[in-house]
Structure 1
Amino acid sequence: MPIKDSQIKDSIEHYLITASRSIDKAKLEQALYNATIAKEIALQNQNLSYRAQTNMVLAKLYRELGDLKKAEEQILDAIEIQQKENDESMLAHSYIIYGSIATKLGKFDTANEVLESALVLTKKKDMKGFEGSVKLNYGLLALAKNQPELAIKHFNSGLPIIDSYGQSYNKAKLYTNKARAQLALNQPEEAKKTNDLAMQIGKEKGYSEIRSECYKLYSQIFEQKREYLTSLENLKIHQRIKDSLFSVNKEIIAQEAGAKLNLNENNVLIEELTEENIQQLKSLKLGRLTTILSIALITILSLLTLSLYKNNNLRARANELLQNKNTELILAKENAERASEAKVQFLSTITHELRTPLYAVTGLTHLLLEESPTPNQKEHLNSLKFSGEYLLSLINNILDLNKLEANKVELENTSFNLKKRINDVLIALGKSAKDRKNKLHYEFDDSIPDKLKGDPLKVSQILINLIGNSIKFTQNGDIWIRVKQINRIENKIFLNFEIEDNGVGISEKKQQTIFENFTQGSVQINRKFGGTGLGLSIVKNLLSIMDSEIKLESTLGKGSKFFFNLKFEIFEDKSTNYLTESKNIDYNILVDKHILVVEDNKINQLITRKILEKSKIICDVADNGDIAVNKVKENSFDLILMDIHMPGISGIEATKQIREFDKDIPIIALTAVTLDDNLDEFYDNGFNDIIPKPYKTEEFFTKLHKALAKKQTTS
């Protein structure tokens, strides 16, 4: 049964795609195998297009093997065929490959000429995906010509295109070469950050060559920073990977020679006959040469043995020193990990212990403010309320930072209205700005779509911290919030955010540390303006998990500008109903409802009971979980508020026991524990909802109303 043309095409494309992916992962033996089969099929079918495509892959293979002469021969053959057949799509790809080979050969004018031709064809044929590769190779050409600033410009231009098309190998290659350019400009810190991004891709995708190059760059970066031991460690890892790749390459070169012989059986027979005749002619000279070569070989081997002996002694001493240093580093790493675990545990425990008394402070303040205090008393109570809210904000910041450092923060991907989201943030911060006599100026690019997809909560948290920071350090001044579109590719949109003020500013020295934990501009600033120094650290960490970074421009005494870029999806739903009206609480539903409060802390019992009874709710109290279970068995309650940590059985265990005989009664956890890691555990064990302490009274009654209203409709 004859093979169809479509089957031949699919077969060749399969082998060529597999070969290209193997080249990216430095698996050159696999690449050679697949490229050889593809060329064999192309020769058998006498198809020039297939031959050209195979030559393109072989050119890339020879380029990675370092045989640039053969690489140039293969790609020029492919270009000649594609020009004759007017195959402009594949010709653009070939020009890009030839541009990289010509750059390595030092033929800079040729490289520039073919890359220009490639760019013209990509625009003509609307091949957006190839534009990123062209920009990348322009950057490599500039780098080869010792123009690092121009190289970085090309890399930055190509990165959004490469990223949007998921070209992970090109992205990793771009980052390593951008790091080289930054290092050439004496920017070791920026180079390290860029190299970290390349290393991450190299590890995730299994790109051995990329990882090897990254370790080499780390070595150069740490050498520039005078951290010689770290530089040596990275150079050693680079050499180990490089040696492994080199040994594989030698085997590939040997196999490649055999593979070429297998491409055409007629050529093989002719070459064998010719070789036989040549061998007969050379046999006469072989005897004389053997003696001379034997003497030379013995001399070389003697010298080599002596050299190896001396080198082995030096290597043994160096290995012993490196092993000792490695042991010290491992011990230091283990100590650091133990310290980090202890810190996480300490923060979780201490924040829980702080929340319990803070509930008493905020609860009693709320009750006292509702009992018609005198103006003097009201002023003091409002100050107490502010202090409680400030302390709660501090605790929440510590928890946020703890989660970010433990990599426990996950990004959501929901639709939202960005313009409204920022408006809400400005409304929330409006009073603070007015108190310090500041004016907020909001500039929003009208070309940005109404609905985007992303994580609105993280965006709000970033903006609250940055705008709040500007408000705090500006008095009787102006603050500008700007959002503009910088790029748009299909359903992806890239936005730039700027927060600028004309406040006190930040010195150049402090700009290097301002994003670290618990850091502010100076002790005097801390005393004058307050705060913990956690806000900017949280911003930096949040942007990091959103594949972005915070930038700062500031002049002491003149003001500061923070800016960053974010990528969002464009939400296709044309609906414009973004607002959800919050339902007013019907307090009549709460009247005469019988609620059981399970709480071991007497002060908290008193506060919760007072708040409930003010809404005409009948309240009963249980000091622990055992008493609660018995009371639910003997009495009829409309709802249970359950604390978690109590003497005897916990609130979770008490809830499990109640659910054994009552599946319907609403049970709400009223607790000071950190909820982020325990939500599933609460719901799985029978809780209907959770109210974290300390809480806002409106939120408290909203959840009570929701639970009681639901029970009323189902009963």
Structure 2
Amino acid sequence: MKKNYFLFLFFLLTTALFHAQQVNNADTYLDSLYTSSSSHHKNYKYKEAIESALLLIEESGKAKNDYYRYQGHKILGGSYNDLNDTLRAKRNYEDALASAQRTEIDTLILGAYNNLGNIYSEDTNTTQIGIDYYNLVINLATRLGKTENIFTPVVNIAWTYLDNRQYKKAWPYLERAWELFGDRNDNLSRSQLATLTGRYYVGINEPAKAKPYFEEAIQLVEEDSLILQASVVYDEYSKLLYSEGNFEEAFLALEKFQDYNSQIFEQERIRQIEATNIKFDVSEYQKNLEIARNEQLFKDEVIEKSREKMLIMVISSIVLFIILLALVRIMISRRKLIKELSNKNEQLIQAKEEAERLSLLKTKFFSTISHELRTPLYGVIGLTSILLEDKSLKNHETDLKSLKFSADYLLALINDVLQMNKMESNLVKLENLPLNLKELLKSIVKSFEFTRLQNKNNIHLNIDPAIPFNLIGDPVRLSQVLMNLVGNAMKFTERGNIWINAEMRNADKEYASILFKIKDDGLGIPQNKQQIIFEEFSQLKSANYNYQGTGLGLPIVKKLLLLFGSEIQLESEEGVGSEFSFEIEFKKDLNVQEELVQDIMNIETSFTIAEGLEKNILIVDDNRINQVVTKRILEQKGFKCDICDNGTIAIEKVKSIPFDLVLMDVNMPGISGLEATRLIREFNSSIPIVALTAVEIEEIRDEIIQAGMNDIIVKPYDTSVFYQVIYRNIPADLVST
């Protein structure tokens, strides 16, 4: 929940009063769209709110009604802001301001400026811009004589300074806010103002002055049952009590905070958790790592000193008979040095163990964050794929494709970071699986179709017909190498050509060596930069282009090829183009017949459900968005779906309803998907159970199989792959090809 949410309600109420005056003369259809989108936004139904707001903007544009265009952009800005898409939120708030200015309605203009202030003040890099917008509201309202609109931006400025711990700057605005509030009968605003004042006194280390304000805020929120504000007040109050040593009262306040916090409806709680998880603080890890480095330097210094002392001992031994006293001193010094070195060695061992522990924590962190990032991406990619198939949204096909491309890019970025982390932890192992090189290369070309069209490039795929059909290798890792190289060529080439060549080099009865070349006629790479591009987080910079990326693609390629026993080769000339090449030796599968492979290659993965049969699938997932996406995808193929959000209910449903298949989320509160599967297997050993998980498959595959699950689907997934897994596990009498 953003800090200015409560005070934003003041502007909603103000514009609502003016809206009541406008509806009498407004188009009934536009007003119904506005009412619908506003209701969806207040109830956190963002998809419906955005759809209704977009339609409202379109229809109001046709009617040349700037009042409703303002309302549509305002709701879009609020929805995108709640979804942490600040770029779209800012753009829509700016459009709302332009519409408000065309209406020349002061109340709308003030609200638009305040919304822009909320967006910019949340980012520490643009805090001053947000404050400037708030001051703009204050000055404009003062000039227009609308004093009732000054209170909100004044409090927002104080709030912004408090969040940035600029307490001296916050105090004048808090004083003015109290003056403007006067004797209003508004418990919500007064409780917020009291809470902010309490935070101010805590910030300047005057807890005795802060306590009465918190107690007043608590009394107000209790009187009006202000659940959300009560949660905030009790949270701050418990911290104050704890800092004073009043642990019993702090515990009671914390219990009240938990009680109110639990009453906030599920959608808001999920959104807060997702936003909070992304802010995981790794500063402690970095600090400990720096300590380990310093201790290593200290050890080197100790060793160097030890060498010097040993030299002194050698010299002293030569003059042993001359300076006996010097020998004694040297021996004492040597003993002390050995003891010191021993202590430092113990500290070094402890530092090493701590560094290994932190490395393990980092690996666990990446595993957890991958799950938390992939779960919402599952909803974005799934819903976008569904919308792309909706013919009624043909006008938005380009936007939806752009949205899906962005989501796929984000997923690829997450996978790159996780891939690098796994390589650093030596967790990546190659698998030996049947490899259809021709189909793999065609799939890679197809996956870059959107980028190819966007950059107006041509892709030329050349596959040597002499390449054997029965290769064995790791198609996933090989695909990662080729995808990174092709993506790199595509990114640095515009209106040009990309060549993908697979050439047979050497072959015998058991092995085949294949040379891969990825060539482009793009920018090229300067000679002095051709080594550093294989280093992590390194990128080329150009005065004429601005390319985005993590700089992990080529380092990942280099490390993956080492697993294949190969090396990446580069030939490039600036302004002419680049060619990356590598050679891999694959083993042949001597037990596979060519005819069988060709038959498998010609089979289309299109299935239909046999008519007249019950096709019941149980979806077990605690995420509402994921439930909707999975259900809609299955219903497109004629399946009947039932939904539950925890393992306990799933067990009872399987006992009472004859389902044909169960899609089981692995990570759920209470009984996990793994435990639920074990309990189901105690009374039903035949029903197919497919795991749904956003966790890296290598980390959990063994646990899933041991729990009794039949197959695995990794979120977010490609729709065609999803259907293949479903049809592979559903009873054969329910499907026909």
Unaligned runs of 5+ in 2: 1-296, 308-316
Q: Whole-Å Cα distance in 2 between the matches of residues 683 and 391 of structure 1?
A: 29
Q: Whole-Å Cα distance in 2 between the matches of residues 523 and 306 of structure 1?
A: 73
- Counterpart position of 1:412: 431
- SS of the residue 1:411 aligns to: coil
Name which of 563, 566, 585 aligns with 2:581.
Answer: 563
Q: Whole-Å Cα distance in 2 between the matches of residues 341 and 419 of structure 1?
A: 39
Say if 2:387 and 2:393, in contact at 8 Å, map to a contact too.
no
Q: Deviations over 1:352-400 (max 9, x none)?
A: 0011111221222233333333443233222222222222222222232
- SS of the residue 1:691 aligns to: strand
Q: Whole-Å Cα distance in 2 between the matches of residues 352 and 385 of structure 1?
A: 19
Distance change (3 Å), C-alpha of 1:590 and 1:551: farther
In the alignment, is residue 652 of structure 1 matched against residue 670 of structure 2?
no
Distance change (3 Å), C-alpha of 1:358 and 1:546: same
Percentage identity across aligned positions? 44
Q: Whole-Å Cα distance in 2 between the matches of residues 572 and 231 of structure 1?
A: 60
Task: Tell me by how many angstroms 1:625 deviates.
Answer: 0.9
Distance change (3 Å), C-alpha of 1:653 and 1:303: closer
Name which of 532, 540, 549 aligns with 2:550.
Answer: 532
Name which of 586, 594, 607 aligns with 2:616.
Answer: 594
Task: Tell me by how many angstroms 1:534 deviates.
Answer: 1.9
Distance change (3 Å), C-alpha of 1:630 and 1:516: same
1:424-573 correspondence to structure 2 within 5 Å: 424-429=443-448, 432-433=451-452, 435-441=454-460, 451-483=470-502, 491-492=510-511, 494-522=513-541, 528-569=546-587
Distance change (3 Å), C-alpha of 1:443 and 1:368: closer
Q: Whole-Å Cα distance in 2 between the matches of residues 439 and 523 of structure 1?
A: 23
Larger Rg: 1
Task: Tell me by how many angstroms 1:538 deviates.
Answer: 1.3
Q: Whole-Å Cα distance in 1 between the matches of residues 384 and 524 of structure 2?
A: 37
Task: Tell me by how many angstroms 1:233 deviates.
Answer: 8.9
Q: Whole-Å Cα distance in 2 between the matches of residues 442 and 382 of structure 1?
A: 24
| Code of the aligned partner of 2:537 | F
- Counterpart position of 2:403: 384
Name which of 368, 383, 386 aligns with 1:364.
Answer: 383
Say if 2:378 and 2:716, in contact at 8 Å, map to a contact too.
yes
Distance change (3 Å), C-alpha of 1:339 and 1:446: same
- Counterpart position of 1:346: 365
Q: Whole-Å Cα distance in 2 between the matches of residues 384 and 347 of structure 1?
A: 25
Q: Whole-Å Cα distance in 1 between the matches of residues 675 and 379 of structure 2?
A: 25
Say if 1:418 and 1:451, in contact at 8 Å, map to a contact too.
no
- SS of the residue 2:575 aligns to: coil
Q: Whole-Å Cα distance in 2 between the matches of residues 589 and 626 of structure 1?
A: 32
Q: Deviations over 1:55-114 (max 9, x none)?
A: xxxxxxxxxxxxxxxxxxxxxxxxxxxxxxxxxxxxxxxxxxxxxxxxxxxxxxxxxxxx
Distance change (3 Å), C-alpha of 1:659 and 1:378: same
| Code of the aligned partner of 1:616 | G
Q: Whole-Å Cα distance in 1 between the matches of residues 388 and 454 of structure 2?
A: 22
Say if 2:688 and 2:709, in contact at 8 Å, map to a contact too.
yes
| Code of the aligned partner of 2:662 | I
Q: Whole-Å Cα distance in 2 between the matches of residues 617 and 449 of structure 1?
A: 40
Task: Tell me by how many angstroms 1:542 deviates.
Answer: 0.7
Q: Whole-Å Cα distance in 1 between the matches of residues 569 and 377 of structure 2?
A: 36
Task: Tell me by how many angstroms 1:593 deviates.
Answer: 1.5
Say if 2:609 and 2:638, in contact at 8 Å, map to a contact too.
no
Task: Tell me by how many angstroms 1:518 deviates.
Answer: 3.0
Task: Tell me by how many angstroms 1:657 deviates.
Answer: 0.9
Q: Whole-Å Cα distance in 1 between the matches of residues 464 and 637 of structure 2?
A: 47
- SS of the residue 1:529 aligns to: coil
Q: Taking structure 1 as the reference length, what is the TM-score of the superposition?
A: 0.51
Q: Whole-Å Cα distance in 2 between the matches of residues 540 and 601 of structure 1?
A: 38
Distance change (3 Å), C-alpha of 1:398 and 1:373: farther
Unaligned runs of 5+ in 1: 1-226, 238-301
Q: Deviations over 1:37-71 (max 9, x none)?
A: xxxxxxxxxxxxxxxxxxxxxxxxxxxxxxxxxxx
| Code of the aligned partner of 1:544 | L
Q: Taking structure 2 as the reference length, what is the TM-score of the superposition?
A: 0.50
Q: Whole-Å Cα distance in 1 between the matches of residues 668 and 347 of structure 2?
A: 45
Q: Whole-Å Cα distance in 2 between the matches of residues 616 and 484 of structure 1?
A: 44
Q: Deviations over 1:622-650 (max 9, x none)?
A: 22111111122222222212112222111
| Code of the aligned partner of 2:432 | N
Distance change (3 Å), C-alpha of 1:363 and 1:554: same
Q: Whole-Å Cα distance in 2 between the matches of residues 572 and 399 of structure 1?
A: 35
Task: Tell me by how many angstroms 1:561 deviates.
Answer: 2.9
Say if 2:466 and 2:504, in contact at 8 Å, map to a contact too.
yes
Task: Tell me by how many angstroms 1:491 deviates.
Answer: 4.9
Say if 1:475 and 1:503, in contact at 8 Å, map to a contact too.
yes
Say if 1:590 and 1:616, in contact at 8 Å, map to a contact too.
no
Distance change (3 Å), C-alpha of 1:479 and 1:378: closer
In the alignment, is residue 397 of structure 1 matched against residue 416 of structure 2?
yes
Q: Could you tell which deviates more after superposition, 440-449 or 667-676?
A: 440-449
- SS of the residue 2:567 aligns to: coil
Task: Tell me by how many angstroms 1:529 deviates.
Answer: 2.8
Task: Tell me by how many angstroms 1:335 deviates.
Answer: 5.2
- Counterpart position of 1:688: 710
Q: Whole-Å Cα distance in 2 between the matches of residues 414 and 467 of structure 1?
A: 23
- SS of the residue 2:585 aligns to: strand
Q: Whole-Å Cα distance in 1 between the matches of residues 507 and 592 of structure 2?
A: 19
Say if 2:646 and 2:671, in contact at 8 Å, map to a contact too.
yes
Q: Whole-Å Cα distance in 1 between the matches of residues 716 and 557 of structure 2?
A: 25
Task: Tell me by how many angstroms 1:416 deviates.
Answer: 4.1
| Code of the aligned partner of 2:384 | T
| Code of the aligned partner of 1:663 | S
Q: Deviations over 1:108-150 (max 9, x none)?
A: xxxxxxxxxxxxxxxxxxxxxxxxxxxxxxxxxxxxxxxxxxx
| Code of the aligned partner of 1:560 | S
Name which of 576, 587, 597 aligns with 2:594.
Answer: 576
In the alignment, is residue 636 of structure 1 matched against residue 636 of structure 2?
no
Distance change (3 Å), C-alpha of 1:465 and 1:637: same
Q: Whole-Å Cα distance in 2 between the matches of residues 528 and 346 of structure 1?
A: 31
Q: Whole-Å Cα distance in 2 between the matches of residues 231 and 511 of structure 1?
A: 37
Distance change (3 Å), C-alpha of 1:484 and 1:631: closer
- Counterpart position of 1:43: none
Distance change (3 Å), C-alpha of 1:477 and 1:625: same
Distance change (3 Å), C-alpha of 1:413 and 1:559: same
Q: Whole-Å Cα distance in 2 between the matches of residues 712 and 592 of structure 1?
A: 8
Task: Tell me by how many angstroms 1:711 deviates.
Answer: 6.6
- Counterpart position of 1:261: none
Say if 1:591 and 1:616, in contact at 8 Å, map to a contact too.
no
Q: Whole-Å Cα distance in 2 between the matches of residues 554 and 575 of structure 1?
A: 41
| Code of the aligned partner of 1:363 | G
Task: Tell me by how many angstroms 1:584 deviates.
Answer: 2.5
- SS of the residue 1:474 aligns to: coil
Say if 1:667 and 1:687, in contact at 8 Å, map to a contact too.
yes
Task: Tell me by how many angstroms 1:324 deviates.
Answer: 8.7
